[in-house]
Chains A and B, each alone.
Chain A
Amino acid sequence: MDIQIRNIHKGFGSFPALAGVDLDIHSGELIALLGPSGSGKTTLLRTIAGLEYPDAGQILFGGEDTVALPVQQRRVGFVFQHYALFRHMTILENVAFGLRVRPRSERPSDSAIKKKAAELLDLVQLGGLEKRYPSQLSGGQRQRVALARALAIEPRVLLLDEPFGALDAKVRKDLRRWLRELHDKTGYTTVFVTHDQEEALELADRVVVMSRGRIEQVGSTDEVYENPATPFVFDFMGNTNILPGNVRGKEVFVQGTPSSIASTTLHEPGPVDIYVRPIDLRVADPGIPSFEAEILSTQRTGPVVRCEARAIESGVTLEIELPHLHFDVPLLKPSARVQLRLTNFSVFPKGTPITRQALPDVVSNAPAEYRERGRAG
């Protein structure tokens, strides 16, 4: 089901959690809402579900405005961060709940409900555990039950709030892969919230990067990672070095270098900040546009070698990361002088603030009643 979000505003007291959000979600898409805490991603998800009412704006499910529809009538599958399984019911009954609460005229027979629930448990590979209670399951298994329960109502959209938040690293990784498989198999339009850029990039078709209640960028994982629209997005996607420089037409100069690097896009001429990731800095061969830097320290941390350097001309301290067997590694000895080149970078007007500084958490800034909910959750 296509979902269109039009200019959604939502405030908690005087705190604007969503300040004008527009987003188109295509049918069958797996989309990630990514951002630091307080960026409004969970509020946006809950607004789509109907668990929060927006102050202004529209949410269209296949062209139908749903803002006035209560959550019961939206038919959304919502999976909570802590699963919210009904602890007094077996997992079969948990999955069957959405069918059992239907009005009598629409409710399938008892045997049909049980059959459907058992099928869904098979789908999430928990067949045979029907009689267990949620407390008898591991975190990963509970997450699967929560998903099966949400799928039972054949939702128009599947919404997952930090689906990996409460799990161990290994379980998290497997669940990610499994979720992708399940999505490919079932084809439900799916939106999930995460603060982990790696998760978003690995799992989603498209990533929505949010900050301070606004969308900073929407794009495929490649677009968001390779062509960040704002310094915030660049910084949120990974570690960042900022080099001062200049731009003339399509030519980019790192401060103090006569030779230019070709940029694919045209920039306003003038001073700029060149954003480059530690992994995109390499030792340059002679004749290639480069800048000089002095190595300050080198540290091996398992698969990567991390190196601190200072650009001679601008005095900026840089971080360099190399795979541990890379042939540049022997050159990066402390106090050595090397020529560095940029394999990939982004250019932003000078002095654009990253505004990374996370807003106060929604929870701590919201009125008392929201705080309580936050704590309970």
Chain B
Amino acid sequence: MTASNPMLDHTLQDPPKLPFEPLIQKNAVITEARWVRRSLTAAALIFLLGFLLLPLISVFVEALRNGIGAYFDAIVEEDALAAIKLTMTVSLIAVPLNVVFGVTAAWAITKHSFRFKQLLITLIDLPFSVSPVVSGLIYVLIFGAQGWAGPWLMAHDIKILFAVPGIVLATIFVTFPFVARELIPLMQAQGTDDEQAALSLGANGWQVFWRVTIPNIRWGLLYGVLLCNARAMGEFGAVSVVSGHIRGLTNTMPLHVEILYNEYNFSAAFAVASLLAMLALLTLGLKSLLEWRHGEELAATRKH
């Protein structure tokens, strides 16, 4: 048998290296005149400046109006600390649970076929389409004194509404779609070939899940977790309905901001709000970092 000549064997060739970006990016046909491009860019920038950046800056300006000392006083104040702690607790419970629910739902929907699949997909979107206030009211209807489970819960001295469990439940409900919505399109696009290949190589279901499925979706999952966390900490409407606004007990950060604001304690309100704003900035930063890192990894794999 003659060994094939590797110089002539096309199956051994490396992928071609293109010196330029895809042509479409330089396509002159879709490029408008310079003044059109400039004015469109300017319009977009002015809009962003006025509607997004300015309010963000004003939050910090207002927060620091009475000096840095007042700022920190407002944050380390007892009720504020309790609110921060509660917010952390709630998202520490809600986010991991939603990761589990979201991954399970996405996995079931994309890797398996069953009846009522479409219904499940629609249900996942429900929290997005329902007003958060209504989401909160659902729990009042179920667990409230006049609700279905209310009398039973009272008889057994279990507090859900106007307590931490109610806030956690409402937060889970509102933030449920973030992880699942992020993963479903990704996993749908990836298909099940990788899983089938792993199975044919002898892997069991558990190994397939941890070694193939999860690594394939890790960036999407992290992205979903970030968005889910940002929303869990910032959720106002649903939590407002179920929390009962008990200072130092059932007030989350957004609720605390509202109370302070209603009491004309502006600098304290903005101080706590600035924490939420920083959380948003941190989320954005991490998200960009993720995209950048992930992009770099992709570029590195292409560069070789």
Query: Which A residues form the contact surface with B (CB < 8 A)?
Result: 49-51, 70-78, 80, 82, 84-89, 97-98, 101-102, 125-126, 132-133, 135-138, 140-141, 143-144, 149-150, 152-153, 167-168, 170-171, 173-175, 177-178, 181, 184-185, 367-370, 372-373, 376-377
Given contacts A149-B197, A367-B113, 10 further A-B contacts (CB under 8 A): A51-B200, A72-B200, A84-B194, A88-B215, A97-B201, A97-B203, A125-B12, A171-B11, A181-B4, A376-B190
Interface pair B191/A49, CB less than 8 Å apart: no
Once bound together, how far apart are the Cα atoms of A76 and B201, in whole Å? 8
Identify which of A80, A86, A369 contacts B196 (C-beta below 8 A).
Answer: A80
CB neighbours (8 Å) of A377 from chain B are: 191, 193
Chain B residues numbered 156-197 whose CB sits less than 8 Å from any CB in chain A: 188-194, 196-197
CB neighbours (8 Å) of A75 from chain B are: 202
Interface pair B200/A49, CB less than 8 Å apart: yes
Interface pair B4/A135, CB less than 8 Å apart: no
Between-chain CB contacts (< 8 Å), 17 pairs: A72-B199, A72-B203, A78-B197, A80-B197, A84-B196, A86-B197, A88-B218, A97-B201, A138-B15, A140-B11, A149-B201, A170-B10, A171-B10, A174-B9, A174-B10, A372-B113, A376-B188
CB neighbours (8 Å) of A71 from chain B are: 196, 199-200
CB neighbours (8 Å) of A369 from chain B are: 113, 117
Secondary structure dominating the interface of B: helix
Q: Which of B20-28, B229-237, B250-258, B296-304 contacts A (4 or more CB under 8 A)?
A: B296-304
Once bound together, how far apart are the Cα atoms of A74 and B200, in whole Å? 8
CB neighbours (8 Å) of B1 from chain A are: 181, 184-185
Nearest-neighbour CB distance to chain B for A23, whole angstroms, equals 20
Identify which of B201, B202, B204, B301 contacts A136 (C-beta below 8 A).
Answer: B301
Chain B 288-302 near chain A by CB (<8 Å), digits 1 or 0? 000000000010011
B contacts with A, residue count (CB < 8 A): 41
Of A77, A86, A89, which is in contact with the most chain B CB atoms at under 10 Å from its CB? Answer: A86
Once bound together, how far apart are the Cα atoms of A181 and B3, in whole Å? 8
Once bound together, how far apart are the Cα atoms of A133 and B297, in whole Å? 11
CB neighbours (8 Å) of B65 from chain A are: none
Identify which of B14, B194, B200, B202 contacts A86 (C-beta below 8 A).
Answer: B194
CB neighbours (8 Å) of A85 from chain B are: 197
Identify which of A84, A143, A174, A181 contacts B197 (C-beta below 8 A).
Answer: A84
**B6 lies within 8 A of chain A by Cβ:** yes
Identify which of B203, B218, B301 contacts A101 (C-beta below 8 A).
Answer: B203
| CB nearest neighbor in A for B117 | A369
Once bound together, how far apart are the Cα atoms of A75 and B188, in whole Å? 28
**B38 lies within 8 A of chain A by Cβ:** no
Interface pair B200/A141, CB less than 8 Å apart: no
**B13 lies within 8 A of chain A by Cβ:** yes
The 6 A-B residue pairs with the shortest CB-CB distance, nearest first, are: A376-B191, A369-B113, A140-B11, A98-B201, A84-B193, A84-B197
Q: A51-B200, A72-B199, A376-B192 are in contact. Are A178 and B9 (CB under 8 A)?
A: yes
CB neighbours (8 Å) of B190 from chain A are: 376
| CB nearest neighbor in B for A88 | B215
**B37 lies within 8 A of chain A by Cβ:** no
CB neighbours (8 Å) of A170 from chain B are: 10
Interface pair B202/A125, CB less than 8 Å apart: no
Nearest-neighbour CB distance to chain B for A285, whole angstroms, equals 42
Q: A71-B200, A76-B200, A87-B216 are in contact. Are A132 and B192 (CB under 8 A)?
A: no
Nearest-neighbour CB distance to chain B for A30, whole angstroms, equals 14
CB neighbours (8 Å) of A89 from chain B are: 215
Once bound together, how far apart are the Cα atoms of A337 and B184, in whole Å? 67
Nearest-neighbour CB distance to chain A for B116, whole angstroms, equals 12
Chain B 203-222 near chain A by CB (<8 Å), digits 1 or 0? 11001000110011010000
Interface pair A141/B193, CB less than 8 Å apart: no
CB neighbours (8 Å) of B298 from chain A are: 135
| CB nearest neighbor in B for A146 | B197
CB neighbours (8 Å) of B203 from chain A are: 72, 97, 101
CB neighbours (8 Å) of A168 from chain B are: 10
Chain B 98-120 near chain A by CB (<8 Å), digits 1 or 0? 00000000000000010001000
Once bound together, how far apart are the Cα atoms of A153 and B203, in whole Å? 11
Interface pair B202/A376, CB less than 8 Å apart: no
Once bound together, how far apart are the Cα atoms of A132 and B301, in whole Å? 8
**B198 lies within 8 A of chain A by Cβ:** yes
Of B113, B201, B301, which is in contact with the most chain A CB atoms at under 10 Å from its CB? Answer: B201
Interface pair B13/A101, CB less than 8 Å apart: no
Interface pair B188/A372, CB less than 8 Å apart: yes
Identify which of A98, A102, A372, A376 contacts B193 (C-beta below 8 A).
Answer: A376
Nearest-neighbour CB distance to chain B for A58, whole angstroms, equals 20
CB neighbours (8 Å) of B301 from chain A are: 133, 135-136
CB neighbours (8 Å) of A373 from chain B are: 191-192
Of B3, B197, B207, B216, which is in contact with the most chain A CB atoms at under 10 Å from its CB? Answer: B197
Nearest-neighbour CB distance to chain A for B1, whole angstroms, equals 6
CB neighbours (8 Å) of A102 from chain B are: 202
Nearest-neighbour CB distance to chain B for A225, whole angstroms, equals 25
Once bound together, how far apart are the Cα atoms of A153 and B202, in whole Å? 8
CB neighbours (8 Å) of A126 from chain B are: 12
Interface pair A140/B200, CB less than 8 Å apart: no
Once bound together, how far apart are the Cα atoms of A308 and B25, in whole Å? 48
| CB nearest neighbor in B for A184 | B1
CB neighbours (8 Å) of B196 from chain A are: 51, 71, 78, 80, 84
Interface pair B304/A376, CB less than 8 Å apart: no
CB neighbours (8 Å) of B10 from chain A are: 140, 168, 170-171, 173-175
Nearest-neighbour CB distance to chain A for B17, whole angstroms, equals 11
Nearest-neighbour CB distance to chain A for B219, whole angstroms, equals 10
Q: A86-B212, A369-B113 are in contact. Are A136 and B200 (CB under 8 A)?
A: no
CB neighbours (8 Å) of A80 from chain B are: 193, 196-197
Once bound together, how far apart are the Cα atoms of A66 and B41, in whole Å? 65
| CB nearest neighbor in A for B11 | A140
Nearest-neighbour CB distance to chain B for A190, whole angstroms, equals 15
CB neighbours (8 Å) of A101 from chain B are: 198, 201-204, 207, 211
